[in-house]
Amino acid sequence: MHSSPNHPSNPPAPSPAVDDVAPGWHPRSWEALPVAETAMPYGVLVPGQLHPADPQPAMQQLAALPPLVTSWEIERLKLLLADAENNTRFLLQGGDCAETLADCSSLTITAKLKIILQMSMVLVYAGKKPVIRIARLAGQYAKPRSSVTESRPGQSALPSYFGDLYNRPEFTAEARRVEPRRMVEAYWHAGLTLNFVRSLLDAGFADIHHPEYWELGFFKHAGLRPEVRSRYEKLTSQVTDGLRFMQAMDGGAATSSAKLSPASAQTVELFTSHEGLNLYYETALTRTVPRREGFYNLGTHLPWIGERTRDLAGAHVEYFRGIRNPVGIKIGPRVTPDALLAIMARLNPHNESGKLLLITRLGCNNVRAVLPRLVAAVQASGRRGLWVCDPMHGNTISTASGIKTRSFDDVLGELVDNFRVHQELGSHLGGVHFEMTGEDVTECIGGAGGLTEADLSKNYSSVCDPRLNYDQALEMAFALAGLMSE
Instruction: Check residue 62 and give its pLDDT.
Output: 98
**Contact between residue 47 and residue 40 where contact means Cβ atoms under 8 Å apart:** no
Q: What is the pLDDT of residue 218?
A: 64
Amino acid in the structure at residue 403: I
Cβ count near 341 (within 10 Å): 16
Q: What's the pLDDT score for residue 261?
A: 35
**pLDDT of res. 399:** 93
- How far is CA 7 from each of CA 15, 48, 60, rounded to the nearest angstrom? 16, 21, 16
Residue 147: phi and psi, rounded to 5, are: -140, 145
> In this predicted structure, what is the pLDDT of residue 245?
63
The answer to whether residues 176 and 46 touch, using CB atoms and an 8 Å cutoff, is yes
pTM over 0.75: yes
User: CA–CA separation, 426 vs 424, rounded Å?
Assistant: 6
The pLDDT, as a whole number, for residue 210 is 60
Average pLDDT per 10 consecutive residues for the chain, totaling 486 residues: 36 56 92 93 94 96 98 98 97 96 92 89 88 97 94 94 97 97 98 94 67 63 70 73 63 38 57 98 97 97 96 97 98 97 98 98 98 98 98 95 95 98 98 94 91 94 92 90 87
d(CA 379, CA 384): 9
Domain boundaries, the chain: 29-484
Per-residue model confidence (pLDDT) at position 231? 72
Would you identify the CATH topology of the domain 29-484?
Answer: TIM Barrel (3.20.20)
